[in-house]
Amino acid sequence: MKLNPEIDFSVFVVARGIATFLGSFILSRTQKKDLTFSGSELKYVTVRNVLTSIQQAFFFYVIMVVPIKITWIINNICPIFVFVIGYFVLHTTLSG
């Protein structure tokens, strides 16, 4: 995106979503597993997809504003925040 400023960040969000879907579809076909959700699963998957789409939109927008080195570091340390928040806020036990 930084190399071609004429491209809007929404194109990357859509392209990443299509690539994720195609990857999931190919994996489900090679593993011979069904790729359908029903009932409460569908509700949770939809909420997760909406939140992931918002995160991706913000990520691609921030890439245009902040240097990519800083953005990439912050994006890659996010899983650490999941464990920290889970331990201190939700009082989950960590095991290895």
pLDDT tens per residue across all 96 residues of the chain: 556 667 666 677 677 778 888 888 888 888 887 777 777 787 888 888 888 888 878 887 888 888 888 888 888 888 888 888 888 888 888 776
Tokens of 35: 């790729």
pTM over the 0.75 mark: no
Provide the H-helix boundaries in the chain.
Answer: 9-30, 40-65, 68-76, 78-88
Distances (CA, A) of 67 to 34, 58, 59, 79, 89: 41, 14, 12, 21, 31
Nearest alpha-carbon partner for 12 in 49, 53, 60? 60
**In the chain, how long is the greatest CA-to-CA distance?**
48
Q: Look at residue 21 in the predicted model and tell me its pLDDT.
A: 82
